[in-house]
Structure 1
């Protein structure tokens, strides 16, 4: 393919649109829900992950949030500094650290979840329910394919 052709392969075009769509939804939720509370998307994802697990090892949070351990450290420092999260020593292995929300963190996530769900629903409201189901299935399949050992 020449640079001047203006055409992309099907896979490249799909990846470009996937990236743009994910960023557009993320920016919408950040603008409408998170920024007024001085939260980043990554901070919100970490809060939501820890909330869902109640008590979880840092390495699992990094995996589920799809961020590096170094990035997680900075995010947890920020959230802990705001009194939203705490580090807890692992009872069976002193080398491991667990994360847990504080009461303040629980209150915030309970406020944020309905608002983020509403913003996400608005962002995807241009799609029919059957389209959403197909996209969700396709994206799960893509992740499964890429996470499978070769």
Structure 2
């Protein structure tokens, strides 16, 4: 989890749904959970949510965070699930970064319109979001099957 992600949702909550949670803020894990160890030995890397900032860093090869350093070090395919406002998603720079990531061989899944709560507006608004969980699981499963030898497929 990035520092910003940890501001929105506690690592302890994510731990309910994950085998392991790594946060850049926990310096006690740095020796074993660095960008190289996080990127090594995986069949697929999924970035959810992929913010405009993460897309930009990944598209340029920048590594200002543990997450983007792991993306840069990854030898497995990376699948990005963007989540941001409609205005940000439509921004030419964001779309240029998406195009660069795709050109580099990464997968960027186009977000789908979905309601989200806008704290500033105090109301639900339609906004680009990752696909619903069943579709998300299908996309990840499909990407894994593309990159796994046929003898390992389930």
Question: Is TM more than 0.5 here?
Answer: no
**Greater C-alpha radius of gyration:** 1
Q: TM-score by structure 2 length?
A: 0.25
User: TM-score, normalization: structure 1?
Assistant: 0.25
Higher fraction of strand: 2
